[in-house]
């Protein structure tokens, strides 16, 4: 299978239609993204093709284990561009991501075959990001009205279409997504090597020592956000008492967020989107 991609030819992003009147800015949560993000990384990497692709990536200048701050900026910028960016933003960002992803593919003799440009793997990543988004919203604020839920689902296809997922790969509606999700869980398989890699990230072993004081809290929150199948695959325990603590914390976080002006609720997504646009104007690298 060829691994070469013409990353120099921009291709306009084709999106899943979003219902009129839906405004993603009402649902972007910086608090929620920071709390739920590590769990979502585990979910994405639970498919071996994604897990080994990230763990064995030869793009070292953006690796989470080597340059965690840059990796964090790039990840938040991607999310900001996908959720809030205009067509030109997403087309430009995809071109830059293509340059990185085109270098990530398995070599002969590796345990797992993978290719970062594989639309099937990118659809799984997008599905995890959507699942994490709606799960975080419901844990912090309760269920969305049906029309808002449908708008959010359609909009979140951009997690995939901003990369290489074709719009038609996104399940047609919420019921189709539920079927896709249940079928996809059969491919969750976190072997000890990937689990150890993920726990190094979750316990902040890739960050300077002062940050690691947050590790116990981060492990607790991450475990709380993981559905049981992923929790079990990681070998993480969870009790009813921990669930009650977690639920209370999410209600408090939601109450705090609802009192913030929208510009603060969206931070740092709005910051990184502005940073990306400035980088474009100055001709600086986007990733």
Residue-wise pLDDT for 61-101, tens only, equals 778 888 898 889 999 999 999 999 999 999 999 999 988 88
Cα distance between residue 103 and residue 117, in whole Å: 9
Structural domain of 194? 25-281
In angstroms, the Cα distances linking 110 to 103, 196, 206, 210 are 15, 18, 24, 36
- Answer yes or no: is 185 within a domain: yes
DSSP for 238-265, please give it. Answer: --HHHHHHHHHHHHHHHHHHHTS-HHHH
Sign of CA dihedral 82, 215, 135, 253: negative
Contact residues for 66 (Cβ-Cβ < 8 A; gap 6+): 60, 206
Residue 111 lies in a domain: yes
In a domain, 232, yes or no: yes
Angstrom distance (rounded) from CA 189 to CA 117: 21
Query: What pLDDT is stored for residue 6 in this prediction?
Result: 43
Q: Given pLDDT bands bounded at 50, 70 and 90, which one contains residue 14? A: low
Dihedral over alpha carbons 89, 92, 98, 100 (to 10 degrees)? -90
Name the 3-class secondary structure at 235.
coil
**Token pair of 29, please?**
């949560």
Kindly state whether residue 277 falls inside one of the protein's structural domains: yes
**pLDDT at 12 (0 to 100):** 55
**pLDDT at res. 42:** 98
In this predicted structure, the answer to whether residue 13 has a pLDDT above a threshold of 80 is no
pLDDT of residue 142: 96
Joined tokens for residue 24: 């993603």
10 within some domain: no
Mean pLDDT over 210-237 rounds to: 97
Domain count, the chain: 1
- Using CA atoms, how far apart are residues 87 and 94, in angstroms rounded to an integer? 11
Q: Output the pLDDT for position 8.
A: 43
| pLDDT > 70? residue 9 | no
| Residue 7, in any domain of the structure | no
* 11 falls within a domain: no
Residue 286 lies inside a defined structural domain of this protein: no
Check whether 11 has a pLDDT greater than 80.
Answer: no
């Amino acid at each position: 299978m060829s691994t070469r991609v013409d990353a120099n030819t921009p291709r306009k992003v084709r999106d899943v239609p979003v219902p009129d009147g839906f405004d993603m800015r009402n649902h972007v949560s910086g608090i929620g993204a920071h709390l739920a993000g590590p769990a979502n990384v585990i979910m994405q990497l639970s498919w071996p093709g994604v897990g080994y692709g990230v763990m064995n990536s030869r793009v070292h200048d953006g690796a989470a284990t080597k340059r965690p701050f840059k990796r964090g900026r790039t990840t938040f910028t991607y999310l900001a561009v996908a959720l809030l960016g205009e067509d030109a933003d997403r087309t430009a960002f995809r071109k830059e991501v293509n340059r990185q992803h085109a270098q990530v593919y398995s070599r002969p003799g590796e345990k797992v075959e993978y290719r970062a440009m594989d639309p099937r793997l990118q659809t799984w990543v997008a599905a995890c990001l959507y699942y994490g988004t709606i799960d975080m919203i419901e844990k912090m604020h309760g269920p969305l009205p049906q029309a808002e839920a449908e708008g959010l689902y359609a909009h979140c296809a951009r997690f995939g279409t901003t990369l290489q997922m074709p719009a038609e790969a996104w399940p047609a509606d919420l019921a189709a997504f539920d079927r896709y999700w249940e079928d996809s869980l059969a491919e969750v398989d976190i072997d000890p090597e990937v689990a150890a890699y993920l726990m190094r990230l979750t316990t902040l072993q890739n960050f300077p020592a002062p940050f690691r004081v947050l590790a116990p809290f981060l492990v607790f929150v991450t475990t709380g956000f993981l559905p049981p199948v992923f929790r079990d695959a990681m070998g993480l325990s969870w009790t009813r008492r921990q669930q009650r603590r977690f639920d209370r914390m999410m209600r408090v976080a939601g109450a705090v967020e609802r009192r913030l002006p929208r510009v603060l609720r969206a931070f740092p997504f709005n910051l990184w989107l502005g940073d990306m646009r400035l980088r474009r104007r100055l001709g600086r690298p986007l990733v």
